[in-house]
Amino acid sequence: MDIENKSIALLIDAENISPSYIEIIIDEANKYGKINYRRVYGDWTTPQLNPWKQRINEFGMTPVQQYAYTSGKNASDFTLIIDAMDILFSGKVNAFCIVSSDSDFTKLVTRLREDDMFVFGMGESKTPISLVNSCETFAYLDKILASSKIEIEPKKEEVVPEKKKPNGKAESSITPIKRVKTELSNIINDNLDDNGWAYWSLVAQLLQKKFPGFHPRNYGDNTRPLSFFEKMSEFEFKKLNTVIHIRNKSGKK
């Protein structure tokens, strides 16, 4: 089945994600198909989630209540996981979109993929790499927002605290561009044809599998991957009819 025709269960961890991203979340999910389930999880009795309430109505989302029985613990995680498994066994979808920056959902994603579900994720750049790499593809919401022409200023109460490094800076799971280029070079060398060129479509697919969260906007360039790498001096491209090839410039014969 084509990726654009998938039936999707969109499950959002409201206690971990700002409502400022809701339009981006819906737009990104729509790229993969039809959203059959639109559920947002949290303890709706707490004032912290008030900013979500209006956004839920605007986008036809279904709020799912989970009381926090213990302070400091995100109880909605368990409800989301249970719902995801119920939806899986219903057989009504073939794709899941998990929206959270919480690594606790890594096992859920792995389990869904064991049943041949297409699982894509969304979160902020602070998302642990374990969750990012468990998904087929992952979108960094803060990077998409930053690259958007529409600036959305979140209200103070909407901001979700970020996990900090000892030096005070927020952690990021975005792969350094130097490593991306190194891995791209290796993929090219591993897939060269007899003429010393590799098919770009194959290389791009393998690169996305290697780094599910990769997108040029993560590095301040909101373009297609092809245009992004064409600007780099390390790689050379050629087009034969409709087929695009790539090779490392250092690998010229």
- pLDDT tens string 145-191: 988 754 444 444 444 444 445 555 557 888 899 999 999 999 999 89
Strands 137-140, 235-240: pairing is: unpaired
- Residue 67 domain flag: yes
Give the domain range for residue 64. Answer: 3-158
Q: Are residues 208 and 246 in the same domain?
A: yes
pLDDT at 71: 55
Quote the number of domains for the chain: 2
pLDDT at 26: 92
pLDDT at 166: 52
Q: Are residues 236 and 123 in the same domain?
A: no
pLDDT at 83: 96
CA distance 190 to 139: 27
pLDDT at 154: 43
pLDDT under 50: residue ranges of the chain? 1-2, 150-164, 253
pLDDT at 170: 58
The pTM score is 0.75
In tens, the pLDDT along 202-223 reads 999 899 888 888 999 999 988 9
207 close to 183: Cβ distance less than 8 angstroms = yes
pLDDT at 246: 95
List beta partners, residue 64: 41
Q: Are residues 189 and 150 in the same domain?
A: no
CA distance 71 to 90: 33
pLDDT at 58: 87
